[in-house]
Structure 1
Amino acid sequence: MRRVPPRTLLPQAACAAALLAAVTGCGLLPGGDAGAAGPALSEPVGVTAQAGSATTVHVMWNRPVSTTEVTGYEVFRGSVRVKELTAQQHMVDVSGLRATSRYVFTVRARGKDGALGPASRRVSVTTPAAVAADGHAPDRPGGLRGRVDGGRAVSLSWRKASDDRGVVSYDVYQGTTKIHSVGGTRTRALLTGLRPGTAYTFRVRARDAADNVSAASDPVRLTTARGPDEGAGTAPQGFRATTRRADKAYYIDLAWTAPQTGGDVPAYQVYLDGKQATTVMWGESAPKDKATYSFYIGETAGARHRVRIRGQLPDGTWGAFSPERTVTTGQ
């Protein structure tokens, strides 16, 4: 049976009636057909774009969540297709760009019939300023450390690398393959989607605006835990839930700190009394640190509710749940 996903709401547009419908079991999108065939090709998830230099951008994504066969991907800069890739490739460097320019990228999957699926979420990035002739690569990052976070994630941290013109990005390698990039102001990364009970070797390289790349850091070797545990480090931190009364009705106010993933957390799922009530989408305006969200819960005093949340990680998967909080209206 194909389940239709809960409705998705923007934080500023979440209305009381919509959430109340979700709470009472009617929060499914209209038009769902329980007897329909398997899912159609969906959009790639977890799309990110990171400036690698003044003229290059590194685009990464994860495969669509649908089970339909994917035969390839197409990467678009605005409405222009700039790359065609095989189904096994989930990252690419787009070069030949202009310095200090904003670009918007999307990715579409291609099915076995040759047709393209829907576009991914739009991700924007601004390339840094160009630099004069620069043949000096950054010093290699030092102090690389790693921590296993459950069976599917590891957290890496390192010391800031020095460069005469400034570091633009850090590239994370698994063996000899680049698997992740973060901005030059970041010195940590959360790598998800790993296999449980598996040994990995990671290194980090620094890159400047002229595309000079440092020597690799010393390696760090980590073995993920056995089992499917997502890892506590992927959960929202400091999660709090309180109630308040306004306009003769009650609301639940949520507050938390975004998990430190090395990238944006563009969406959060809110679970109320054990069931998903809504998905809060921020997209490009995702909070970097503190986040808040409020929703209508009803007009009855003394009603007791349980609430918890989880965030969407940069690779498109969902992280671990926050601790569950219990609130009572009117208290």
Structure 2
Amino acid sequence: MRLATPPRPARGRARKVAAAAVLLLCAGLVQAAPQQANAASTRYEAESGTRSAGSTVDTNHKNYSGSGFVNSNNAIGAYVEVTVNAAAAGNATIAIRYANGTGANRPADVSVNGTVVSSARPFDATTNWDTWADSTLTVAVKAGSNKIRLASTTADGLANIDYIDFGASGGDTQAPTRPAAPTCSAVTESALTLSWGASTDNVGVAKYDVYEHGNKINEVDGSLTSDHLTGLTPHTTYNLTVLARDAAGNVSQASPAIDCTTSPSTDTTPPTKPGTLTSSNVTANSVDLTWGAATDDKGVTSYEVRSGDNVYKTVTGNPPGTSTTLTGLACDSPYSLTVVAKDAGGNASPASNAVSFTTATCRTDGGVPSSITTLSSDWTIPWGTYWMPDGSSALVTERDSFKVYKVTPNGTRTQVGSVPNAVTTDGEGGLLGVAVDPKWATNHYVYFMHTAAEGNRVVRMTYNGSALSSYTVLLQGIKKNRYHNGGRLAFGPDGYLYASTGEAQTPSLAQDKNSLNGKILRMTTDGRPAPGNPFNNYVYSYGHRNPQGLAFDRNGRLWEAEFGDSKKDELNLIKPGANYGWPTCEGSCSTAGMTNPKASWPTGQASPSGIAIVRNVVYMAALKGERLWRIPITGDTENVGTPTAYYVGSYGRLRTVTKVPGEDAFWLSTTNGDNNGSGEAGSDKIFKVLVK
């Protein structure tokens, strides 16, 4: 907006003001009588928005709309910001009307709710200051209030901004193409460079997101096709994929995955043996431990509390602490524990002295896991388990083989068929949940959720007790991606089918009540939205990242376990119409209108999948955490007691927990044979756990 040629401060400022107005318009902060630009958009005059200090509203040029235009101050970061209210989450089109009579580009960052969606967007020269042009882009907005800011990236400030036309949700719905296969280079013990083939998009790629086993670890601008990752662990394999997204929030399918292994550490000196380990305050489920600090030539990074090869707890910090309370122990059981120090190179010290003790007698009202036995072996990623209404057998799905098995109470299994049209995603997609109709004795219906060519589906088949037939699609259009496909099915006491869906690595979908993704859905057995759903569609609750476990308690209330991103995993009590926060919240937060979890864990201790409720206690399987969490419900309230962990590291990645009908017991399955586990095909098991 203003070059130092003839002193045209009004023009320069007008440009900036206009730019500011554009931003304001986009953000909807412009509250002064917006005009209807056309049937699909609302016009916001820039002069009604918020602008940076030094910006003015001017009228010294022709052909502007409203009462003037915004001429920003000549500075990097000069801005206009507006707040718009969107009726629903989704994509919206903003058309920024500007003039630039200087002959030089005046680029600006366009951001929505603090996130830059178009970096250094060009606002090229127009014929003169009286000539206006439109710069149009599609952005993702959330339901309700959205702040849109236009900020200059050069000392010339913004172009003059006249108005912004804010379009209804819709616009660009085309996702970028899948990025080409990544490669690794410049690998060291703590860093590597990941490169990939560029995506294409009808509007343009705004960002590339880098994922490691389903968790986003970094992002780079859409103009780049490489990322230098730092802070990695030596001699560790990272399974990496890349996704492209455009300014509207459309996300591509994940690139092919690549395993990149960092170099072995050059540090070969282990820490010294920790000092004397002592135990105290032994209860039925916990013990206090204290030990002396170890030393290391480069520094101790953690201590591991171990029993043999099993790691019960890792204590970190800078430096890591030398005491901890170990919870989740089995009551009335003997333990022998040691402590080992580790450094950044992965070197482990000699083990400390061992302490031995026996936990106190079991006193928990709801009971605790008292024995675990192998029920069935030779599985490869058993994912869903659902008992027949008569309790005579259960159906179990295998995720990547698409096979369905009948398993009897003594562990005998028989394949009863496969689910047609199922495909994998080389990640978490495939044949997922299964549910049996409560009226199976008369209709013989069973239900599956699986990944198909176009996305994820809920389907129905007929099962006569020995074979599957009559594949029928009930619901499709649920977006898929390599990770975050949800997949759990359960029938509620109301007779309706509940399904959990992930946000397909597209966080904005979780807040869109018109999207099937990032939700818990509730439907009839013929695939229609269930009567009484809060938004008159399939959606029962929303704001979910990757919901997995579903279980109903004795009061008919629905509990749900959910994968977090990098901070917190969640156990939620689900209520119709409630918003569970993702991507604004991960774990508990204070944002109005969002529902906090009843319990949460660091992602390294959980990454939860299936849950079951036995004697008013929630049992939650943990994948990355490799443990079973026990979370007691406090009577008939909405509160839970202190979670405790069992089988930490003993059986690997735990996937599904299913109550055994008529018994204080549950089945517990592993998925060590998946692409995140260390087991081979056929290494997975189903256990039976008794609760006493």
TM-score relative to the length of structure 1: 0.36
Q: Which has the larger radius of gyration?
A: 2
- Point out which structure has higher relative CO (alpha carbons under 8 A, 6+ apart): 1
TM-score relative to the length of structure 2: 0.20
